[in-house]
Chain A
Amino acid sequence: MSNLGKFAIVIIIVIIVLGILSPLISRHPHNLPSGSALESPSWEHWLGTDDLGIDIWAQICHGARASTFVGAGTALLAGVGGSIVGMLSGYLGGDSDRIIMRISDMAMALPDMPTTIILGAFFGPSLKNIIIAISLYSWVAPARLVRSKVLAIKEENYMKAAKSYGANFWHMTKVHFLPQVLPLIAVSMIRLFSKAVVVEAGLSFLGLGDPTSKSWGVILHHAINFKGIYFTEYWKWWLVSPVFIMMSFTTSLAIISRELERLWNGKIEWI
């Protein structure tokens, strides 16, 4: 693994730790004013305060919780669910495959953001609903990926041999499919993770997020909605800090997923 990859992993770990240990790391509460409004960064308030006087560093640390929860939830739901659907579709073939693939075509044809906005509005604002809304169309990518791999494996002679010995779906999955599709699933789950973080931020930014969650998107939403944010110098800490943390998070995830792909293509003992 390259140094860049290691660096990315460190960033991710740091952000997750920030989220988990946020009450310990930030001296101030994330939901109550702890200073005067719109203070610039100082030793007391590292990233300044917002219009209500709430510490921004505390908000960022706490926001990591919401963002990683949405990311991990989507990655698990859409990633694992999509992979199972893809595997079944590829293995069963025939009509079931055709039906599943047409549904996935439909999910793919819908534009991501507008659909999420509508679904978000429809389900109502809550982190759980956001996860479901994002998952509803993002299961397609892992499903397609896994299906095509399973289709390729199915044609291999060792599968014909296994079949001739009377192997069932469970054996085939355990011995032949899973070890080969796991890297694909892992990579697409990481992608889903960062995608979900961005989409959640987008929804919150538009005001469709969970207002109680205090995710990075919600911080952004409040900052943007502050009249005159661009005329003052408050944007330098209030706006830049959530954008920066989000960018570092998604970029690190992207780097990790690229590194993993590179590693697994080299067939290194990893199972």
Chain B
Amino acid sequence: MDMKGDFMGKPLLSVKNLSIEYEGASERTLAVDDVSFSLNRGECLGIIGESGSGKTSIAMAIMGILPSSAHVKGSIMYDDVNIQCLSEGERNMYRWGEIAVVFQNSLDVLNPVLTVHEQIYECIIEHTSLYKGEADRRVENLLELVGLDPQVSEHYPHHLSGGMRQKVLIAMALSCNPKILIVDEPTSSLDPWAKDEIIHLLKELQRQNNFAMIVISHEIHIISQLADRLQVMYSGCIMERGYTEDILQTPMHSYTRGFINSSPYINPYKDLWGIPSEAYSSSIRKGCPFYNRCYQRLELCSEKKPELSYVATEREIACNRGGIITILEAQDIDKTYEFNGNEILACKGCNIHIRSGETVVLMGESGSGKTTLATIISGVLEADSGQVQFLGKRVEGNNFTSQMGGIQIVFQDPFSSINEFLTVEEAIVEPLTITGIVEKDSRRHMVKLALKDVQLPYDDGFLARRCYTLSGGQRQRVALARSLIMQPKLLIADEVCSMLDPSTQANILRLLKGLQNAKGFSMLYITHDVAIAQKIADRLYVMHEGSISEENLLDIR
């Protein structure tokens, strides 16, 4: 379970199979579901997750301050002592003395009728054997330690700013020299400057005092600066665990990726998209907790709860599919065009892979072979050598483009991608008519749904309109609807916006990203526009004279 345990001796704290259930008036809510983890001396473990994922319950369980309505199962071992088995008196000694907590900053955590000095003083007298004078000096030391003016000690909590109150709370927590400091949402209501100050302070204090730390937060910004290791929680379960840097760089669980994609700190240029829908009530517990929001779920996932297991060195995830799957892999694609005896090299040993649910941007100047590669990937064009695998099967001809849940391609020129003599309905229903997959009766309904998805009217009048009466932007939406009706797992968008005016372009782009977020398909977006790439890409490939290379998004300017 623990990663450093083997070479750093026994862990300081180890939590095994911890489950916490709250008994409500009518139903029981499982807040933490069979969670195990350990904490080594001097390390900082980050616990991250959406609100209600059980982070704070774990902190409270470790501190032994859960309300009486909570039922706790499993063990919490601190230095070979099971905290669960201690009496209230013994536990009180551990609290503050061995393990201290800094609560979410708010006015009511501090006693409003005591001065800062009295608050900290009381804490020291209660939990240590220090005398009055020593305790007074200790208070001054602590205030100095957390960078507060000694004069503050005579103030009442309501006199202080949020940042200062947070520092007082930290000073209180450190008053008894704990071995473990649990910090719960240390900075949630603070301004950015105060946040930075607190982070800096916590880091510095940890360096000086060498205590172990558990940081609980939903802010990736905070966690990434403090935590060495990170565990991602969802609905009371650990979904992914590993080194902070690795996880943030390449999340391997789709929940983690969704969570990271929602962070403006990680994505300064990109549009932010949260994970659609909400976690379902924890009382129904069967299968994977992330099942209803996951886009690569299988039948199996509704039945089997995934175990946390290693997928790479120092990386564990809980997913029945082994994390985010790679849906498309193209290897060593070569393509040469022959024209009047001249050979034109369009693709040279191109390798590309696309994982489920991500947006990959293929960028390059005109004539660099982007469209050729995209057409080869879709199977419409045959490569000279190399092969493309889609969901583990080889892409040949139109085997995946003519299939539900396969590959779809949307073209650049909206005036050419739709036959303008057709009605909107005829244009969109075409894939179904050709493939004959869906019964005739339900086709019209599907057309309407697709039109609704692309935010076009879906009344009978609009369905009967000829496409030549539509604008470029509307036609592109109709083309998109035609692709969406096949419910693709991979959508190839070939410069879909380059012929549209800026406003329409922005609308279509947001529509595409929104649809991707809602439907969970992967997207290969082809463009020559750096700014657009930065706006939407999860990963970036740059193509130049037929060769392709993966680049870091932040390196291109």
Q: A residues within 8 A CB of B402?
A: 164-166
Measured between alpha carbons, how far is A180 from B413 in the docked complex, in Å?
A: 19
Q: How many residues of B contact A (CB 8 A)?
A: 28
A212 interface residue, CB < 8 Å from B? no
- Complex: how many Å from CA A165 to CA B422? 17
Closest Cβ–Cβ distance, residue B30 to chain A (whole Å): 47
Question: Closest CB of chain A to B121's CB: distance in Å?
Answer: 76
A157 touches B413 (CB 8 A): yes
A158 to B418 alpha-carbon distance, docked (Å): 5
Are B416 and A156 in touch, CB under 8 angstroms?
Answer: yes
A160 to B409 Cα, complex, angstroms:
10
| B398 at the binding interface (Cβ < 8 Å) | yes
A-side contacts of B422, CB under 8 Å = 175
Report the stretch among B164-172, B428-436, B443-451, B517-525 that lies at the interface.
Answer: B428-436
Q: Does A162 interact with chain B (Cβ within 8 Å)? A: yes
Is the CB–CB distance between B434 and A271 below 8 Å? no
Are A165's CB and B418's CB within 8 A? no
State whether B421 touches A271 (Cβ < 8 A).
yes
A157 and B434: CB pair below 8 A? no
| Closest beta carbon of chain B to A173's beta carbon, Å | 13
Candidates B412, B419, B435, B466; contact of A158 at CB < 8 Å: B419
> Pick the contact of B417 from A158, A163, A166, A269 — CB < 8 Å?
A158
Whether the Cβ atoms of B468 and A163 lie closer than 8 Å is: no
Question: Known contacts being A157-B413, A171-B433, is A164 close to B378, with CB within 8 Å?
Answer: yes
From residue A270, how far is it (CB to closest CB) to chain B in Å?
10
Which interface class (under 10, 10 to 19, 20 to 34, 35 or more) fits A? 10 to 19
Q: Are A267 and B468 CB-contacts (below 8 A) given A157-B416, A165-B434, A175-B426?
A: yes
> Closest CB of chain B to A10's CB: distance in Å?
30
The answer, among B398, B411, B427, for a CB contact under 8 Å with A165, is: B398
Please tell me if the beta carbons of B434 and A166 are within 8 angstroms of each other in the complex.
yes
A91 to B336, CA, bound (A): 24
A136–B332 CA distance with the chains assembled, in angstroms: 54
B3 within 8 A of partner (CB)? no
Cβ of A24 within 8 Å of any chain B Cβ, yes or no, is no
Main secondary structure of the interface of A (DSSP, over half): helix
Chain B: CB-nearest residue to A164: B401
B229 within 8 Å of A (CB atoms): no
Q: Chain A nearest CB: distance from B363 CB in Å?
A: 21
Contact with B along A146-179 (1 / 0, CB 8 A): 0000000000111011111111000100011001
Name the contact of B435 in the complex, choosing from A160, A165, A176 (C-beta under 8 A). A165
Q: Are B417 and A161 in contact (CB under 8 A)?
A: yes
Which chain A residue lies CB-closest to B419? A158
For residue B400, which residue of chain A has the nearest CB? A164
**Are the C-beta atoms of B417 and A157 separated by less than 8 Å?**
yes
Which residues of the other chain, B, contact A176 by a CB distance below 8 angstroms?
A: 419
**What's the Cα separation between A180 and B421 when bound, in Å?**
8
Q: Which residue of A lies closest to B412 (CB)?
A: A157
Pairwise interchain contact B434-A167, C-beta atoms closer than 8 A: yes
Complex contact A158–B431 (CB within 8 A) = no
CB neighbours of B417 from chain A (8 A): 156-158, 161
B513 within 8 A of A: no
A160 in complex: contacting residue of B380, B433, B466, B486, CB < 8 Å: B380
Known: A156-B419, A179-B421. A165 touches B430 (CB 8 A): yes
Known A157-B411, A269-B466; contact A163-B380, beta-carbon cutoff 8 A: yes
Min CB–CB distance B446 → chain A (angstroms): 14
Are the CB atoms of A164 and B398 closer together than 8 Å?
yes
Which partner residue on chain B sits nearest A155 by CB separation? Answer: B416
Query: Does B482 sit at the interface, judged by CB under 8 A?
Result: yes
19 contacts between A and B (CB under 8 A): A156-B416, A156-B417, A157-B412, A157-B413, A158-B416, A160-B411, A161-B417, A161-B482, A162-B430, A164-B401, A164-B402, A165-B431, A165-B486, A166-B398, A171-B434, A175-B426, A175-B430, A267-B421, A271-B421
B residues with a Cβ closer than 8 A to A are: 378-380, 398, 401-402, 409, 411-413, 416-419, 421-422, 426-427, 430-431, 433-435, 466, 468, 479, 482, 486
